[in-house]
């Protein structure tokens, strides 16, 4: 499709059929590996992104990006498909690869590395398998696995997935209630953001899980807003530059949160729809990299302990190989099954949450 003359809106960019969501999510998944390298290796200090933001390390920023992209693309998927097609599309994108990863962790990694003689009898083993595979809630620990490392979780990245699944359902309910329109979404969206900010200020400091839920939901519903108002949001480097300067000037103060939030939300879509040649339009390794990054990093720390960059290097190489196998052997075949449920694919690359 020919480029639209004049200012580009998100709608113009979307209709062009060219975007960088796959490579953007892949970079975000790698940032999770990069950011986790310090706690996994027990090293002091932190990553460069964490030093700039002072409130979010690289992995947390990457998760924010994932939820913006998810809110945007999942809203697009919902408006394209029937309820049946939408639910099938979401389940086929998330569940098969997750089940395989969790099963490999429980039935292969666990038995090979556990120091517990009661591994198969321990309720924690089966709770880890059931709760994570069904997206009921995140369980992190397996008996005797990684118990001597600085971080003892078998897979500390799984916490976002139950939140993601619940947001899918809430978005579907909002759609069924007729709230996903440009006329009806604005007020609830702004009230939700304002209410979350007031609650966070009033009850600070919040428990980690509550804070994580609020952040994820805020970025997700804003991603949805960017989809709904795509005809009105122009893409330009100027807002990105202004927000970056504001974030730099307010760094270390309570005022930093607002420009950071807007920069991540707007900047994510600006990067995704940049005019650079599209890369990896048909292959999405990001989900596999996200799923396997943490357990691979733990294995690297077990057999080849070292500093953060040492861990990042070897984790990246091994996890990318596993991500490729996950994509070609599990995820892509599962996505092909969507046709049986009457799902429709977008002009742009397939939607997937982080």
Confirm whether 5 is domain-assigned. Answer: no
DSSP state of 206: P
Confirm whether 332 is domain-assigned. Answer: yes
Confirm whether 348 is domain-assigned. Answer: no
Confirm whether 188 is domain-assigned. Answer: yes
pLDDT 10s digits, 25-58 = 999 999 999 999 999 999 998 999 999 998 899 9
Confirm whether 266 is domain-assigned. Answer: no
Helices (H), 134-185: 160-176
Report yes or no: 77 and 92 within 8 Å, Cβ to Cβ.
no
Residue 351 has pLDDT above 50, yes or no: no
pTM of this structure = 0.92
Could you tell me the two tokens for 40?
A: 């996994």
Residue 346 has pLDDT above 60, yes or no: no
Confirm whether 239 is domain-assigned. Answer: no
As a 3-state breakdown, the chain gives helix, strand, coil percent values, each rounded to 5, of 65, 0, 30
pLDDT 10s digits, 268-302 = 999 999 987 666 667 899 999 999 999 999 999 99
DSSP state of 105: I
Which pLDDT does position 353 carry in this prediction? 37
Cis bond upstream, residue 205 (ω within 30)? yes
What is the distance between the alpha carbons of residues 315 and 312, in angstroms, rounded to a whole number? Answer: 5
Confirm whether 347 is domain-assigned. Answer: no
| Average pLDDT over every residue of 119-133 | 97
Look up the domain containing 320 and give its range.
Answer: 10-230+278-341
What is the distance between the alpha carbons of residues 215 and 212, in angstroms, rounded to a whole number? Answer: 5
Domain count, the chain: 1
- Left, alpha or beta for 17 (phi > 0: left; psi -120 to 50: alpha)? left
Confirm whether 226 is domain-assigned. Answer: yes
What is the distance between the alpha carbons of residues 170 and 183, in angstroms, rounded to a whole number? Answer: 19
């Amino acid at each position: 499709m020919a480029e639209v003359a004049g200012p580009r809106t998100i709608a113009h960019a979307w209709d062009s059929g060219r975007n960088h969501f796959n490579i953007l999510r892949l970079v975000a998944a790698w940032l999770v590996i990069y950011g986790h390298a310090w706690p996994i290796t027990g090293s002091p200090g932190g990553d460069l992104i964490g030093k700039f933001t002072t409130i979010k390390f690289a992995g947390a920023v990457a998760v924010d990006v994932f939820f913006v992209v998810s809110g945007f693309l999942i809203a697009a998927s919902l408006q394209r498909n029937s309820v049946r097609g939408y639910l099938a599309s979401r389940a086929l994108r998330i569940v098969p690869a997750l089940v395989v990863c969790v099963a490999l962790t429980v039935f292969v990694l666990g038995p090979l590395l556990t120091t517990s003689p009661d591994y198969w009898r321990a309720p924690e083993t089966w709770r880890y398998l059931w709760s994570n595979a069904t997206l009921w809630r995140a369980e992190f620990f397996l008996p005797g696995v990684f118990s001597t490392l600085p971080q003892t979780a078998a897979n500390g990245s799984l916490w976002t997935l139950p939140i993601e699944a619940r947001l899918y359902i809430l978005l579907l309910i909002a759609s069924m209630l007729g709230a996903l329109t440009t006329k009806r979404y604005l007020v609830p969206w702004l009230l939700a953001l304002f209410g979350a900010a007031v609650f966070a200020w009033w009850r600070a400091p919040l428990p980690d899980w509550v804070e994580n839920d609020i952040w994820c939901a805020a970025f997700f519903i804003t991603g949805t807003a960017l989809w709904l108002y795509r005809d009105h949001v122009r893409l330009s480097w100027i807002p990105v530059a202004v927000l970056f300067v504001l974030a730099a000037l307010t760094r270390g103060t309570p005022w930093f949160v607002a420009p950071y939030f807007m920069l991540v939300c707007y900047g994510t879509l600006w990067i995704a729809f940049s005019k650079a040649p599209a890369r990896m339009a048909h292959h999405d390794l990001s989900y596999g990299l996200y799923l396997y990054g943490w357990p691979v990093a733990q294995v690297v720390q077990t057999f080849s302990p070292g500093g953060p960059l040492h861990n990042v290097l070897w984790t990246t190489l091994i996890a990318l190989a596993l991500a490729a196998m996950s994509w070609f052997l599990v995820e892509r075949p599962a996505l092909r099954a969507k046709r049986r449920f009457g799902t429709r694919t977008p002009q742009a690359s397939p939607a997937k949450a982080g």
